Amino acid sequence: MKKFDIPLKYKSSIISRLKEMRRNEDPRKKDFSPTRLNFGPVEFLISRHFGFCYGVENAIEIAYKTVNENPDKKIYLLSEMIHNPAVNKDLIDRGISFIMDNYGNQYIDWSEITKDDIVIIPAFGTTIEIEEILKEKGIDTLKYNTTCPFVEKVWNRAEALSKKDYTIIIHGKYKHEETRATFSHSAQNSPSLIIKDIEEADYLTKFMFCEITKEEFLQFFDKKYTAGFNPHEDLQRIGVVNQTTMLATETEEIAELLRNAMISKYGEENIKDHFADTRDTLCYATNDNQSATNSLIEYQADLAIVVGGYNSSNTSHLTELLEERFKTYFISDADKISEDKIMHFDMSIKSEVETIDFLPKKDKVIIAITSGASCPDSIIDQVLMKILSFYNTALSPAEVLDKLIID
């Protein structure tokens, strides 16, 4: 796989060495078991896969290269480069301005941007409508486009399905940048509908079997379908694609539910005329991170820590998986931790909360740890070192790595 040139500040002395060891021992990524780092009084179970993925490293390389090579130009990002506060703050500190927030609300009016400026398209991609605005201004939409190739793969698959007269069902959060971009591309060629979860997929099947009316359907999915969407006609042939950071297992569950509904309605022998197999649109990095997290759940631990941006969809899903098994703390960085308390994000109330005495008072504490695809390895290092500082008798990272035992 391509090696990217990313700033040294995002690399690490502990995690980078650990990942290299695992790659050498398991180059085909068949072993999803975590790595044990036993420091004596505290032991970490480090997920097999986490941190920067291909698409994120590609976006970071392009963004920093653009800044370094264009010191005299105004440089904009359409929205957050990736969903990590440390990375986005550093880009702002280097002079990059964000045009809009994650939901498409403008910070900077289009009238302020000229053909002499640079606009970087983030890893999530952007809508065709925004691309057209940039082109009309004479701004290059290719050279500084960091759209993840796996997001583009979803767009290409949707386009191929549309040529076969399939309606595109998008599993995603309809306000998310990537879902908005996918919907925009999909809508150019075929009727499209966004569904958030298995419950909304089930509601869709209710219409198929005449349990709800067209009016109820359109009201329920308001703003989530293309103009002129007619569920009577447009739900006869469907294919499911996804926002790449959603739970892969949920996308598969949704696809299976809709496939079975089509079988019930049209018969097994006719399923290929009504449902397209789209399993090839699932992102490898999302799959690997979620599979590794599921493996982590099989081990014993006193608590789990997930590190990443609070608005990161893929990080939120890792937190959801771990919460089923452990007391889980979702934090953005090491500054959220002190010896007697932790500030962490509670997804049920969408806000940070404080927990006192989060570390058990026992001879040996075991902590499961992972991070989202937009979290630098250096931040994981900082979290590990912060926790180790609470234990005077802990071994040094060099000692532990030198005698590493992989379960």
* d(C-alpha 307, C-alpha 374), whole Å: 10
Q: Domain residue spans in the chain?
A: 8-52+285-402, 54-136, 153-282
Residue 248's pLDDT band (boundaries 50, 70, 90)?
confident
Q: What is the mean pLDDT of the chain?
A: 94
- Predicted TM-score (pTM) of this structure: 0.90
Report whether pLDDT(278) > 70.
yes
pLDDT of residue 287: 86
* d(C-alpha 322, C-alpha 294), whole Å: 8
CATH architecture group of domain 54-136: 3-Layer(aba) Sandwich (3.40)
Report whether pLDDT(405) > 70.
no
* Across 281-289, average pLDDT: 83
pLDDT of residue 277: 80
pLDDT of residue 281: 72
Report whether pLDDT(406) > 80.
no
Per CATH, the number for 8-52+285-402 is 3.40.1010.20
The percent of residues in the chain predicted with pLDDT above 90, rounded, is 88
CATH architecture group of domain 153-282: 3-Layer(aba) Sandwich (3.40)
Q: Which residues contact 207 (CB under 8 A, 6 or more apart)?
A: 214, 216, 217, 231, 235
* d(C-alpha 14, C-alpha 115), whole Å: 44
Q: Identify the residue whose tokens are 């097994």.
A: 268
Buried b (16+ CB within 10 A) or exposed e, 162-187: beeebbbbbbbbbebbbbbbbbbbbb
Residues 184-229 pLDDT 10s: 999 999 999 999 999 999 999 999 999 999 999 999 999 999 999 9
Closest residue by Cα to residue 166 from 275, 12, 251: 275
pLDDT of residue 317: 93
Residues recognised as catalytic = 178
For residues 383 and 10, the answer to whether their CB atoms sit within 8 Å is: no
pLDDT of residue 144: 96
pLDDT of residue 407: 46
* d(C-alpha 370, C-alpha 357), whole Å: 21
- Please say whether the dihedral angle defined by the alpha carbons of residues 255, 261, 265 and 271, taken in this order, is positive or negative: positive
- Partners of residue 341 on adjacent β-strands: 356
Question: pLDDT higher for 84 or 366?
Answer: 366
- Please say whether the dihedral angle defined by the alpha carbons of residues 140, 143, 147 and 152, taken in this order, is positive or negative: positive
Q: Which residues contact 36 (CB under 8 A, 6 or more apart)?
A: 43, 44, 45, 46, 405, 406, 407
Residues 17-64 pLDDT 10s: 999 999 999 998 899 999 999 999 999 999 999 999 999 999 999 999
* Across 158-168, average pLDDT: 94
Fold equal for 54-136 and 153-282: no
Neighbours of 119 (CB within 10 A): 21
